[in-house]
Amino acid sequence: MTSGTLVSLRDAYGELLPELGREEPRLVVLDADLSTSTRTGKFRQAFPERTLNVGIAEQNMVGVAAGVALAGGIPFVHTFASFLTRRAADQIAISVAYPRLNVKFFGFHAGVNLGEDGATQQAVEDVGIMQAIPGIRVYAPVDADDLVATVREVMRTAGPTYVRLSRFPSPILGQDDSTAAPAVKALRSGGQILVIVTGTLAAEVVAAADALKAQGISVRVVGVSRIKPLDPSIAALVSAWGPRPVAVAEEHNIHGGLADALSSVLDEAGVPHRLHRFGVPDRFGESGPPRELLESLGLGSRALAERIAAIVSQQPAQPDPQRWEE
Amino acid sequence: MIQRDVTIAQLDDLARSIRRDVIEEIRTAGSGHPGGSLSCAEILAVLYGYVVQPGPDWLSRPDRDHVILSKGHAAPALYAALAEVGLVDREELGTLRQLGSRLQGHPDVTRLAAVEMSTGSLGQGLSVGVGMAWRLRATGGAGRVFVILGDGELDSGQVWEALSLGGVLGLENLVAIVDANEIQNDGPVAGILDLRPYGPKLQAFGWAVREANGHDTGELVAAMDWARSGEPGARPRCVIAHTVKGRGVSFMEGRPEWHSHALTLEQYERAVEEVERR
């Protein structure tokens, strides 16, 4: 889609699902009384016999998905990220991941999207829960185009996966650097600070980078949609960045998310690092308009711009800009 | 290998062999759950020896029946049944709970396909059975799904979510078998979360219910024939099998401490003698 077009991930998903259903007759859709939010309606209209709404019973839904997979189906499991990963964590681990079943989980309204509803409906720990369970691939697409590519990758990959989606229309970000590895999306080029971001928070980081450019601060923004397994090329990218500052931005607890995953990959690769963590500071969310809530957590574009500028201003005299590749 | 035509005496022999294997396995392993393994010996004997009768090609047959041992701690009895019908080598029973063994403390389908599902976190198996039965019905599959639960396991809320959905969907190809041995980890079910009588509750959830003496293979055969007939209508079936925890070994019968317990050499010898004599 055209860069800048506003599309919500869930709407893109709702359009894609019937298409996938036509391509893959084994695809089965499961919901737990949130199908209006999860946008599975068009699939249900096309394939009512391959759709099951189990009611408000997420643990049962995950077990039913395991049974569908054992009987040869490919279940797509839908509900809010919070209810799926918190309530059904044991079922996800023992009924799906342990037997390595081909179940595809989709967690909607992740992060603090459900602003006014408050902490109970928000998910600031879903990535942490899912990536701590052995064998689950974890994704947080950065825009609707990325979501489509991600779901297609999920379909091609046998075994359990988790895709984190957000609620609101967010811009198609495009990519301004076609030489980057596919797993790592170059969203903005710059030389003073590298921000690695996952999920639709990427739009906030890009907006902050664009605002800072006008102030003469040059921010490189890289998007990562597959958190587990994290593409190892990210270690070379950080290594080549040298001593310049690196930040990780995610609409998730600073613990258990992309920053931890990245730190782990850098440790494995022997790349010394210090990551500035732009995430939810180990607290639950709260009620409030989503944008205001995001800003209050330091994750809206205005707050991010301030935080990035503060880090850049504290840097010692910049090394020769020619010395380190961009 | 069990033959198609099977007698009650053969099923009783099979149950006796399962019990003997269970004692052997847990003695060798040095830990395990004898009480709940011994209580379901006849249930497994009737399922594998009469209903499913798995041949060597069982796992590759699309029209086959399925068995999920939701009460995964009875794994020694399941492994014994699989060994008796030729799906596990008898020598392998001696590896139970050892590092690298296919015979994990609780069933692991990735190591041993014949167990069909990994279980052990109680309360999860019936949901899996509902999903399988729904999918089989939707795709015209001929097989049935049998899920073995413990009565203590009925404490778990997820079981009632699965019972609700199974009843609403009217899954006539789903058969739940409750090994009602009346004892759970902490003591008698009656003193913990007494949900008896189960029958009226299950019927209220849309299930066809039949009770049986879970140590009488003849009664279990009749119950399985009923479950596989059209008589219960478009409803999932549940057989409540009344059993005795630790059945077959006098010093284990009805004793909560034998839920999870190792056997001394003396206990082992006495248990084997009792099981073989009965």
Shared domain for A264 and A146, answered yes or no, is: no
**Any chain A CB within 8 A of the CB of B126?**
yes
User: CB burial class (10 A; 0-12, 13-18, 19+) of residue A321?
Assistant: exposed
Residue B4 backbone zone (phi > 0: left; psi -120 to 50: alpha; other: beta): alpha
Which H or E run contains A132? helix A126-132
Per-residue pLDDT of A278-301, as tens digits, reads 999 999 999 999 999 999 999 999
> Which residues from chain B sit within 8 angstroms of residue A60, using beta carbons?
127, 130, 158, 161-162, 164-165
Residues A246 and A194 in one domain: yes
Cα within 13 Å of Cα(B53), Cβ side: 9
Domain boundary among A101, A132, A164: A164
The pLDDT, as a whole number, for residue A212 is 98
DSSP letters of A270-304?
Answer: T----EEEEEE-SS---SS-HHHHHHHTT-SHHHH
Query: Which residue in the set B109, B110, B124 is minimally distant from A91, CB to CB?
Result: B124
| A94 shares a domain with A182 | no
Q: Which of A100, A132, A164 is the last residue of a domain?
A: A164
C-alpha–C-alpha distance, residues A219 and A61, integer Å: 43
Q: Which residues of A are catalytic?
A: 58
Q: Look up residue B104 and give its amino acid.
A: Q
Q: Is residue A321 part of a domain?
A: no
**How high is the pLDDT of residue B42?**
98
> How many H helices and E strands in chain A?
13, 14
For range B54-73, the mean pLDDT: 94
B65, B144 contact by CB (below 8 A): yes
Residue B207 φ/ψ, nearest 5 degrees: -100, 150
Q: Which residues of chain A have pLDDT under 50?
A: 176-181
Chain B residues lying within 8 Å of A73, measured CB to CB? 135, 139
Q: Looking at the domain assignment, is residue A320 inside a domain?
A: no
Specify if A159 maps to a domain. Answer: yes
Q: Does any CB of chain B come closer than 8 Å to the CB of residue A160?
A: no
CATH of the domain at A120: 3.40.50.970
Q: Name the domain count of chain A.
A: 2
- A66 CB neighbours in chain B (<8 A) are 117, 127-128, 131
A234 falls within a domain: yes
Residue A322 lies in a domain: no
pLDDT in tens, B152-182: 999 999 999 999 999 999 999 999 999 999 9
Question: A67 CA to chain B: closest CA distance, Å?
Answer: 4
List phi, psi (to 5°) of A219.
Answer: -115, 125
Q: Which domains does chain B have, with CATH numbers?
A: 8-277 (3.40.50.970)
Whole-angstrom distance between the N-terminal and C-terminal Cα of chain B? 23
For residues A24 and A118, state if they share a domain: yes
Any A CB within 8 A of B111 CB = no
Whether the CB of A94 is below 8 Å from some CB of chain B: the reply is yes
- Shortest alpha-carbon distance between residue B110 and chain A (Å): 6
With respect to residue A267, please indicate whether it lies within any of the assigned structural domains: yes
A37 and A124 together in one domain: yes
Q: What are phi and psi of A278, to 5 degrees?
A: -100, 95
Asked if residue A159 and residue A256 are part of one domain, the reply reads no
Which structural domain, as residue segments, surrounds residue A255? 172-313
Same-domain pairing of A110 and A148: yes
Judging contacts by C-beta atoms under 8 Å, the chain A residues touching residue B130 are: 60, 63-64, 67
DSSP letters for chain B: ---SS--HHHHHHHHHHHHHHHHHHHHHHT---HHHHHHTHHHHHHIIIIII---TTGGG-TT--EEEESSGGGHHHHHHHHHHTTSS-GGGGGGTTSTT-SS-SS--TTT-GGG-S---STT-HHHHHHHHHHHHHHTT----EEEEEETGGGGSHHHHHHHHHHHHHT-TTEEEEEEE-SEETTEEGGGT-----HHHHHHHTT-EEEEEETT-HHHHHHHHHHHTSSTT-SS-EEEEEE--TTTT-TTTTT-GGGSS----HHHHHHHHHHHHH-
Report CA-CA distances (Å) from A262 to A144, A171, A198: 24, 25, 11
Give the C-alpha separation, B205 to A257, whole Å.
41
Residue A188 falls within a domain, yes or no?
yes
Residue numbers in A near B110 (CB within 8 A): 98-100
B132 touching A (Cβ < 8 Å): yes
- Same domain? For A94 and A183 the reply is no
Name the residue facing B136 among A54, A57, A71 (closest C-beta). Answer: A71
Task: Note the pLDDT of residue A320.
Answer: 57
Mutate to test the interface with A, among B121, B128, B146 (most CBs of A within 10 A): B128
Q: CA A246 → CA A100, A140, A200, A235, A312, distances in Å? A: 35, 20, 19, 12, 10
A70–B157: do the CB atoms touch at under 8 Å? no
Give the model confidence (pLDDT) of B98-154 as tens digits. 999 999 999 999 999 999 999 999 999 999 999 999 999 999 989 999 999 999 999
Q: Which of A125, A143, A164 is the last residue of a domain?
A: A164
Partners of A184 in beta bridges: A224
pLDDT (0 to 100) of residue A316 = 77
Q: Taking CA B17 as the corner, what is the angle to CA B11 and CA B21, rounded to the nearest 5 degrees?
A: 145
Asked whether residue A134 falls in the same domain as residue A256, the answer is no
What is the percentage of chain B residues whose pLDDT exceeds 90?
Answer: 95
Instruction: For A53, name the nearest residue in chain B, comparing CA atoms only.
Output: B165
CATH of the domain at A221: 3.40.50.920
Nearest CA in chain A to B142: A71
Is A157 found in the same domain as A17? yes
Q: What rounded mean pLDDT belongs to chain B?
A: 96
pLDDT on residue A177: 45
Cβ-based contacts of B118 with chain A (< 8 Å): 94-95, 98-99
In this predicted model, which residue has the larger pLDDT, B209 or A3? B209
Please name which of A103, A106, A120 lies closest in space to residue A166, comparing C-alpha atoms.
A106
Per-residue pLDDT, B41 = 98
Same domain, A50 and A178: no
The predicted-structure confidence for B4-52, as pLDDT tens digits, reads as follows 689 999 999 999 999 999 999 999 999 999 999 999 999 999 999 999 9
Spell B183-216 as b/e; 16+ CB within 10 A means b.
Answer: bbeeeebeeeeeeeebeeebeebbbbbbbbebbb
Q: Which backbone phi and psi does A318 adopt, to 5 degrees?
A: -65, 140
Specify which residues A276 forms β-bridges with.
A247
- Yes or no, beta carbons of B132 and A59 under 8 Å apart: no
Give chain A's end-to-end CA distance (angstroms, integer): 27
- Same domain for A290 and A209: yes
With a threshold of 0.90, tell me whether the complex ipTM lies above it.
Answer: yes
